[in-house]
Amino acid sequence: MRAGPSQEDIRRHNLGALLRHVHLGGPISRAELTSKMGLNRSTIMALTSDLTAAGLVREELPRETGRAWPSLVVRPESSRVYVFAFDVGPDRIAAARVGLGGVILDRREAARDRDRFDLDELTGTLAGFARQMRRKTRNDTVCVGAAAAVSGGVRKADGVVSFGPNLQAEEVPFGEELARRLGLGLPVSVGNDANLAALAEHSRGVGVAVRDLIYLHGDVGIGGGIISGGHLIGGHDGYGGEIGHMVVNPGGRACGCGSHGCLEAEVGERTLLESAGRVADGRRGRDAVREVVEAADRGDIVAQEALSRVGDWLGLGVANLVNIFNPELVIFGGILREIYLGSAAQVRSQLALHAMAHQRERVRLRTSALGDSAPLVGAAELAFAHVLSDPLEVLARANG
Amino acid sequence: MRAGPSQEDIRRHNLGALLRHVHLGGPISRAELTSKMGLNRSTIMALTSDLTAAGLVREELPRETGRAWPSLVVRPESSRVYVFAFDVGPDRIAAARVGLGGVILDRREAARDRDRFDLDELTGTLAGFARQMRRKTRNDTVCVGAAAAVSGGVRKADGVVSFGPNLQAEEVPFGEELARRLGLGLPVSVGNDANLAALAEHSRGVGVAVRDLIYLHGDVGIGGGIISGGHLIGGHDGYGGEIGHMVVNPGGRACGCGSHGCLEAEVGERTLLESAGRVADGRRGRDAVREVVEAADRGDIVAQEALSRVGDWLGLGVANLVNIFNPELVIFGGILREIYLGSAAQVRSQLALHAMAHQRERVRLRTSALGDSAPLVGAAELAFAHVLSDPLEVLARANG
């Protein structure tokens, strides 16, 4: 209930709104901006001039046009203005240089050992990746932000990774340490990987223009990102979306969290591999999950039964979420992408049994469009967020 | 990503923001408004003058002050500007005249038969209540809105009550019909009762200033209203918050929705009364539930066991919601108020077993502050919503 904005606030808002159009939607003509933003042509011209002068966008004549006075096209300066995005999963870490407009310009990744967490080694490797990528850039490029997606709970108050059982992490000031190792003079924002992947699918994936969606992310565990009315459900402390620990089967399998019958315990990697009789051979991770789905596809009855059981619990979990949130879209990402594709019949049948008719009729089930890159793309969006909220100030700081 | 607001938008926003302070917070001095809204004294004076001229607020000298130039106190014109609020539950309907500032000025209620839904009779009775209350008002009063809380799912697109199994309602254009019977030339907004009760507790009850809360409403069934980051979770079609149909006990009791083991089936009125052996005597409704809780309190073992079982399932449901939403506050309303008070030990013990440590540590469990009036108070807020978004326009229209 604060008062309305000042003229300066409005200019900042308009600059950010215009840049957001270009960043998320790609090249767009001044004429389209005029109509989409509800501003007159001279205001749009003034705003694009400011952003061009700051080096955030450039204006060009469109490639082909039959008109005598074609409207200039505004493009993001994707190769000049970039952020670093990082992703820390149980089995894999990745770093990317992502240009304005969301283009992944460069990328590095490495395996990690899920059974131990070594902050020094981890941040050292990621900072090394960033240095390698930075050395390859031209002199006029500018890094305007950095952010990391982490498989764990990130406390909103201070950005500390307060729990991450599948990383063996607890109370880790990950962003602070990574910022120190990067040495760019920029803070590193940190977010939960499933939350950021949900934002990524919402901004650039299968959930564009969808205001109510649920993203389920499977890796070793199961996480989630929920967008309701266009807003991510962050929760009071930042731990919103832990749908992997919804109990779907009271008295069921023991879960790493100490409870029993959680969605993660009934649907996660370990249960699928155990049920498919594939623990003895010591294989685990995404490839092992994919092998079970492929074996079921080839007619392996043990694999089929394991997948069917897992699909039943997944479907029950999705039905609960559909009743609670009335989403337009449910997205399966990470290993849940493969599991869903291998058990869609079970998932849909549980949805028919347990979701309310009106909610069920309208919901669409889809797999992630961004795949394994979703958390990384979401981290890049997090890193760009402050540029979009105040473009000129951020760029002045980065250049200065 | 629209452009920033015009000067006229800003004035409208500021008028609404000031009126909202007075409406929700009660009498407040100009000096406090200046500091809370971040505007200078002359702007505040201009805004209060406009609202005073429109008859929405009045300014008075404070009762006692030691200062030579005391700051004027701005009060809502509660007895002049009002809305009609309605509540349609399974066993009871109510109507109230609610003044600006949220004061219930007058109120009527009647029992209803939960086994049949007669739109004509229902809207006739409610419109009759409104006429009775209207006849008692002074000539200078003005009705600026009307809204109803209904125990059912309300489709966002057209406000139709699309399902309401505990009312025996289906695809009912309730708001349209009630508006016609009222004959005030005002539309009647309609919302789900648990959603509106959640908003009421958030605006005026135990959840003031809490941005992340879950309100569980028990009547015949169990509904919910979830506020995340200050926003109500409405869902894609308006059916968000149906937490009564989260399956907590797969293969459990049959639920009215066609599924089994829903929270509503394991915790609702019917199950409690059946388990307590109180179905044969034909009693039902809130009083029957209260009798079970009182009997348990007096040492009745059958009642204690029934309540304990219900408390276990309620606790499991709450644990799931705490994991999914990471709320600051969980509120028990309607018959769940009594059930929670009679089974708090079970609820807390299930929470300890199934909620994640970080989420559990911070959440508070409370009973509704507004009690049975919560849906009615929420309906009044819904009716006032457009007055607060554009005070002068609405009042000009209402005055004709």
Average pLDDT value for residue range B115-144: 95
Contact A56, A99 (CB under 8 A): no
Contact A162 B243 (CB under 8 A): no
In sequence order, what DSSP letters do the residues of B234-272 get, joined into one string?
A: --SSS-TT-GGGSBSSTT-SB-TTS-BSBHHHHHSHHHH
Of A5, A226, A362, the CB nearest to B10: A5
Of A163, A233, A359, the CB nearest to B358: A163
Average pLDDT value for residue range A48-69: 85
Best residue of B172, B208, B228, B249 to probe chain A, by most A CBs closer than 10 Å: B228
> Is the pLDDT confidence value at A1 over 90?
no
Question: Searching chain A, which residue's CA lies closest to the CA of residue B240?
Answer: A325
Question: Domains plus CATH for chain B?
Answer: 7-76 (1.10.10.10), 81-196+375-399 (3.30.420.40), 208-368 (3.30.420.40)
Contact A239, A153 (CB under 8 A): yes
Percent share of chain A, pLDDT over 70: 98
A214 DSSP β-pair partners: A226, A330
**Kind and range of the H or E element at B196?**
helix B193-204
pLDDT tens digits, residue range B334-378? 999 999 999 999 999 999 999 999 999 999 999 999 999 999 999
- Cα separation, B271 vs B265, in Å, equals 7
- Cα separation, B18 vs B37, in Å, equals 8
> Is the pLDDT confidence value at A221 over 70?
yes
Number of helical (H) and strand (E) elements in chain B, helices listed first: 14, 16
- Cα separation, A328 vs A317, in Å, equals 16
The pLDDT value recorded for residue B4 is 67
- Cα separation, B338 vs B81, in Å, equals 35
- B339: three-class secondary structure by DSSP: helix
**Kind and range of the H or E element at A92?**
strand A92-99
CA nearest B223: which of B253, B245, B190, B248?
B245
The pLDDT value recorded for residue A198 is 98
pLDDT classification of A397: cutoffs 50, 70, 90: confident
Q: What distance in Å separates residue A344's CA from the closest CA in chain B?
A: 20
Residue type present at position A76: P
Residue type present at position B272: L
pLDDT classification of B283: cutoffs 50, 70, 90: confident
Rounded to 10 degrees, what is the CA torsion of B122, B123, B124, B128?
Answer: 110
The pLDDT value recorded for residue A4 is 67
Structure-block tokens of residue A249? 């089967």
Contact B368, B332 (CB under 8 A): yes
pLDDT tens digits, residue range A146-182? 999 999 999 999 999 999 988 999 999 999 999 999 9
- Cα separation, A240 vs B228, in Å, equals 9
Contact A242 B359 (CB under 8 A): yes
**Kind and range of the H or E element at A346?**
helix A335-354
Q: What is Dmax (Cα atoms) for chain B?
A: 73
Q: What distance in Å separates residue B107's CA from the closest CA in chain A?
A: 30
- N residues, chain A: 400
CA nearest B28: which of B68, B49, B57?
B57
- Cα separation, B232 vs B229, in Å, equals 8
> Is the pLDDT confidence value at B1 over 60?
no
- A300: three-class secondary structure by DSSP: coil
Q: What distance in Å separates residue B242's CA from the closest CA in chain A?
A: 5
Least confident range from A20-29, A290-299, B173-182, B272-281: namely: B272-281
Contact A3 B39 (CB under 8 A): yes
Rounded to 10 degrees, what is the CA torsion of B36, B40, B45, B47?
Answer: -70
Cβ-Cβ contacts under 8 Å for A159 (sequence gap 6 or more): A173, A175, A176, A189, A190
**Interface A-B: count of C-beta contacts within 8 A:** 196
- Chain B residues in contact with A39 (beta carbon < 8 A): 3
Contact A228 B247 (CB under 8 A): no
Contact A347, A240 (CB under 8 A): no
Contact B36 A1 (CB under 8 A): yes
pLDDT tens digits, residue range A129-152? 999 999 999 888 999 999 999 999
Cβ-Cβ contacts under 8 Å for A8 (sequence gap 6 or more): none
- Chain B residues in contact with A162 (beta carbon < 8 A): 358
- Chain B residues in contact with A316 (beta carbon < 8 A): 247, 250
- Cα separation, A28 vs B102, in Å, equals 48
Cβ-Cβ contacts under 8 Å for A331 (sequence gap 6 or more): A198, A201, A205, A206, A207, A213, A214, A215, A216, A366, A367, A368
pLDDT classification of B231: cutoffs 50, 70, 90: very high
- Cα separation, A150 vs B256, in Å, equals 42
Contact A323 B1 (CB under 8 A): no
Contact A4 B10 (CB under 8 A): yes
Residue in the block written with tokens 């029934």:
B306
Inter-CA distances, B101 with B129, B149, B247, B272, B336, Å: 22, 19, 40, 38, 28
Dihedral angle sign, alpha carbons of residues B246, A215, A353, A294: negative
- Cα separation, A186 vs A179, in Å, equals 7
pLDDT tens digits, residue range A344-370? 999 999 999 999 999 999 999 999 999
- Cα separation, A234 vs A194, in Å, equals 11
The pLDDT value recorded for residue A134 is 96
Percent share of chain A, pLDDT over 90: 85
- Cα separation, B93 vs B169, in Å, equals 14
Residue in the block written with tokens 């209930």:
A1
Contact A359 B242 (CB under 8 A): yes
Residue in the block written with tokens 């009182």:
B294
The pLDDT value recorded for residue A400 is 64
Contact A236 B4 (CB under 8 A): no
Of B14, B233, B327, the CB nearest to A236: B327
Structure-block tokens of residue A319? 């039905």
- Cα separation, A156 vs A169, in Å, equals 17
In sequence order, what DSSP letters do the residues of A193-208 get, joined into one string?
A: HHHHHHHHHHHHSTTT
Question: Searching chain B, which residue's CA lies closest to the CA of residue A210?
Answer: B236
Contact A175, A150 (CB under 8 A): no
In sequence order, what DSSP letters do the residues of B23-47 get, joined into one string?
A: HHH-SEEHHHHHHHHT--HHHHHHH
> Is the pLDDT confidence value at A241 over 60?
yes
Contact A229 B229 (CB under 8 A): no
pLDDT classification of B400: cutoffs 50, 70, 90: low
- A168: three-class secondary structure by DSSP: coil
